[in-house]
Amino acid sequence: MAATICSPAKNRFWKERLGSVRIRSLLVGLAVCLALAWTIAAVTLLPLRWIDPPTTAVHAQRRLQAFVHGTSYHERYRFIPLTEISPELQHAVVAAEDARFYQHNGFDWHEIQIAAEDDLEGTRSRGASTITQQLIKNLFFGTGRSVLRKGAEFTLVPVAELVLSKQRILELYINIVEWGPGIYGADAAARYHYQISARNLTRDQSARLAAILPSPLRRRPARMNRYSTLIQDRMRQMDW
């Protein structure tokens, strides 16, 4: 009789114990997968000192989105050396995206503080991501937003700053960043929007291209009158 009474309680105990073990195993497996993915990403950064990336997470994301929605997708992407890209565009991108690029070590804490204060006041109008952070996001994570992605990005940025020079970080970023539907990098952007090579971009054209980077699928250089003027003002302030 006692065995019969205790049996349901024992069954519940073992079921709960088994469930706990399964959850623990699942969490351990997830942690191992995340650690492996992070290690692969970190190790990938080293050869990027010499090897140009054939594709990125954003490229793959856009191809997948086009496939899912049944829309056409034509990718324009050709990696070119920084020496073949107009200095005006290089300066415009830095002025627009990360004015302290050459001073910080991957994170602009001044901009992060301003963004945090704006968040508290509900008046935030700009991001605080540096070019290095955006490079990591484009290479490995795509355009999605999540706490997990931010955490991984936060730990990979110091690795990128350690193994890559500032010039190489800028070269990688300016060559892979999205500049329109299926348009990646300075060469494709210059040819698509202005029918010229990236080497021949003028100051005004460069500022207009830099102005569309925050929202490349919606913005067009020809409409960026006010923002491109602001970028050129920043360039002058930086003695460019």
What distance in Å separates the CA atoms of residue 186 and residue 177, rounded to the nearest whole number? 8
pLDDT of residue 42: 73
Q: Return the CATH fold of 54-237.
A: Penicillin binding protein transpeptidase fold (1.10.3810)
Burial of 54 (0-12, 13-18, 19+ CB in 10 A): exposed
Q: Distance between CA atoms of 127 and 170, rounded to whole angstroms?
A: 18
In whole angstroms, give the CA distance from residue 45 to residue 200: 30
Please state the length of the chain: 240
Q: What pLDDT score was predicted for residue 108? A: 86
Per-residue tokens: 120? 């508290």
Q: What is the pLDDT of residue 10?
A: 61
One pLDDT digit (tens) per residue for the chain, 240 residues: 444 445 666 666 666 666 666 676 665 665 566 566 567 777 789 999 999 999 999 999 999 999 999 999 999 999 999 999 999 999 999 999 999 999 999 888 877 666 555 545 444 344 678 999 999 999 999 988 777 778 888 889 999 999 999 999 999 999 999 999 999 999 999 999 999 999 999 999 999 999 999 999 999 999 999 999 999 999 999 999
Amino acid letter, residue 138: N
Give the C-alpha separation, 139 to 57, whole Å: 5
For the record, the structure tokens of 209 come out as: 């291209």
- pLDDT value at residue 124: 38
The answer to whether 15 and 131 are in contact (CB under 8 A) is no
What is the reported pLDDT for 104?
93
